Amino acid sequence: MTTMPSSIVLFVIIYLCGLQHPLGAMPTCRLQRNLVQSSQKLLADLGPNFPVHCSPYNVNITFPTSILPAATSTHSQCRKVLWVVHETLNGTREVFSEYNVKEGGVNWNLMKLSTFRNLQKRLLDQGQCLSGSHVLDSYFADITALLQHKHSATCGWMALRRDVLWVLRTVLMEYHGCFI
Ligand SMILES: *[C@@H]1O[C@H](CO)[C@@H](O)[C@H](O)[C@H]1NC(C)=O
Ligand SMILES: *[C@@H]1O[C@H](CO)[C@@H](O)[C@H](O)[C@H]1NC(C)=O
């Protein structure tokens, strides 16, 4: 009787599973589309759009838009897309916990902001398997540099909101199928 060592059997099984789920395909944890949609809506409803008087600060902030993969309808980019969403929300949560919106002179709807932050927490919990990159670190350093000064804090908040909205809108429009 020939018996295969169980380690080989296990290896073959892992290998076959790997073929069906190549690297870069659906990650093991997913984000709920309706939570992302609600977050986007709450953020959009917080207050007026990015004000013109803040445009000079655009030179101080670079959001690396190229981290979102080129739009395709395949699912193979989903891991990267979800990971960008997670990274964006995690960095945003850090900023909200370290800086005060009211002190920054921003007149946002605080009820909506609080609901947004609750959704953000739920999405970060859902996306726990996505953590671990630092591709937005320099972006968030740009934002906090603005928040640290009284004259630029308001514009820092406005820019953060604009950029997070851009990420959420873009992923909902172009990568709809990556969410559950
Ligand atoms: C924004 O960038 C300008 C031009 O590089 C610089 O002079 C200014 O100090 C920066 N402001 C902040 C708050 O970082
Ligand atoms: C969230 O952001 C903080 C601060 O930038 C970082 O230390 C932490 O590793 C991040 N967590 C996840 C789960 O990515």
In a domain, 155, yes or no: yes
> CATH no. for residue 77?
1.20.1250.10
Residue 60: partners with Cβ closer than 8 Å, 6 or more residues away: 142, 145, 146, 152
Atom of ligand 1 minimally distant from the CA of 151? 13
Domains in the chain: how many in total? Answer: 1
Give a yes or no: residue 139 inside a domain: yes
**Would residue 142 count as lying in a domain?**
yes
Q: Tens digits of per-residue pLDDT, 45-94?
A: 999 999 999 999 999 999 998 888 876 656 668 888 999 999 999 999 99
Between the CA of 60 and the centroid of ligand 1 the distance, in Å, is 6
34: in domain? yes
pLDDT at 19 over 50: no
Examine residue 95 and state whether it is found in any structural domain, yes or no.
Answer: yes
Q: Identify the pLDDT of residue 74.
A: 61
From the CA of 128, give the closest atom in ligand 2. Answer: 13
Centroid of ligand 1 to alpha carbon of 95 (angstroms)? 19
* Listed range (6-10, 11-15, 66-70) with the worst mean pLDDT: 11-15
According to DSSP, residue 149 is labeled S
Position 14 in a domain: no
Q: Ligand 2 — pocket residues by CB below 6 A?
A: 90-91, 94, 131-132
**Residue 8 pLDDT greater than 90, yes or no:** no
Q: Is residue 99 part of a domain?
A: yes
Q: What average pLDDT does the structure give for the chain? A: 86
Supply the residue whose CA is at minimum distance from atom 10 of ligand 1: 60
The CA distances from residue 177 to 31, 32, 33, 124, 132, in Å, are: 11, 11, 9, 19, 23
The atom number, within ligand 1, closest to the CA of 57 reads: 1
User: Which ligand 2 atom lies nearest to the CA of residue 140?
Assistant: 5
pLDDT in tens, 122-166: 999 999 888 777 889 999 999 999 999 999 999 999 999 999 999
- What CA–CA distance (Å, rounded) separates 5 from 69? 42
DSSP 8-state secondary structure symbol assigned to residue 28? S
Q: Does residue 118 belong to any structural domain of this protein?
A: yes
Write out the residue range of the structural domain in which residue 174 sits: 29-178
Q: Using the mean position of ligand 2's atoms as its centre, give its distance from the Cα of residue 91 in Å.
A: 7
